[in-house]
Amino acid sequence: MQLHVLGSAAGGGVPQWNCGCKNCTAARAHRLPQRTQASLAASADGKAWVLFNATTDIRAQLNSDPLLAPRSSRATPFGAIFLTDANLDHCAGLLDFRQAGELAIYSTQAVRETLLRNEIFAPFSRPPRAWHVIDDEPVDICELRISVIPVKGLLPSYAGSASMPGAASAYLVEDLRGARVLYAPIFASVDDKLASTAARCDAAFFDGSFWSDGELIALGLGTRTATMMGHQPVAGPEGSLEALRACPCPRRLYTHVNNSNPMLDPASSEAKQLEDAGFEVVSDGTVIELPEKVRARA
Ligand SMILES: [Zn+2]
Ligand SMILES: [Zn+2]
């Protein structure tokens, strides 16, 4: 399986256009890597691709990745697009697919309903496009098997911020050779299901939005905590790092990192803590090729 990390930042990217925080200032001056908003492309054969989340950076992300270029006069590189939630930084890029003919979108019912309340997304649910609800049954597509892993999460603030089933999901991606990946860029807590799924994966991506719960408030960048936005912070006794410290997955990567997060600076003590625990902060453009393995599918 091939994985292309198209983007690795939370909403706004790094630098965010209206942000003068330390990380954004450093990224603007190229002292830290610039990052677009988090999105992942996966392929079993390097030809047919599946996309996880479509951000407002999708056009630039596609145009900078030769493997995702169209293979005929009009062609969509993706056999399907899977959405983890209805936050606009994960879905607004769908609008850039308006020139597509056939297009298959997959999400939970809660995400589908939330987005289709806005007429601007309605064309994506009409033929020749299709907006499928993914539930307990895995989807076999492009020689990948994709299963939804429910996680605790909130509806976006524009939809009322309610905690409800299906508001956020992770995805387990498996290929025919037995390679497994978990994509979990948003969750309110690591529960048993998420931890046990990560434990049997070859690589796992986790929500790295915020280092600490009150980070935005402490830096004067916002008024809400990570928890209020449906993100489990990385650090602290209640953080995802502690919850995943013993996870045996050989490649544990934080993605969807907000520009306020101190772990973005490789010289920081926070980045050192991650490294010591065996975690990485993934960067835009990272390509992961999972080795061929002989392993029966569970
Ligand atoms: Zn986001
Ligand atoms: Zn910033």
- What digits encode the pLDDT tens for the residues 5-54? 999 999 999 999 999 999 999 999 999 999 999 999 999 999 999 999 99
295 assigned to some structural domain: no
Compute, in angstroms, the gap from residue 153 CA to the centroid of ligand 2.
24
User: Distance of CA 253 to CAs 1, 7, 279, Å?
Assistant: 17, 13, 6
pLDDT, position 74: 85
11 assigned to some structural domain: yes
Starting from the CA of residue 84, give the closest ligand: 1
Quote the CA–CA distance of 105 and 103 in Å, as a whole number.
Answer: 7
Compute, in angstroms, the gap from residue 69 CA to the centroid of ligand 1.
25
How many distinct structural domains can be found in the chain?
Answer: 1
- Length of the chain in terms of residues written: 298
- Give the residue ranges of DSSP H helices in the chain: 22-28, 58-63, 88-91, 109-116, 192-199, 215-218, 240-244, 269-276
pLDDT, position 157: 93
What angle is formed at CA 63 by the lines to CA 143 and CA 31, rounded to 5 degrees?
110
294 assigned to some structural domain: no
The pTM score is 0.96
Model pLDDT for residues 48-88, shown as the tens digit of each residue: 999 999 999 999 999 999 999 988 888 888 999 999 999 99
Compute, in angstroms, the gap from residue 216 CA to the centroid of ligand 2.
10
298 assigned to some structural domain: no
pLDDT, position 97: 95
297 assigned to some structural domain: no
66 assigned to some structural domain: yes
Compute, in angstroms, the gap from residue 293 CA to the centroid of ligand 1.
33
pLDDT, position 298: 44
142 assigned to some structural domain: yes
pLDDT, position 162: 94
In the chain, which stretches have pLDDT less than 50?
Answer: 293-298
261 assigned to some structural domain: yes
Query: What CATH number is associated with residue 123?
Result: 3.60.15.10
Which domain does 29 fall in, by range? 2-289
User: In this structure, which residues have their CB less than 5 angstroms from ion ligand 2?
Assistant: 19, 21, 24, 259
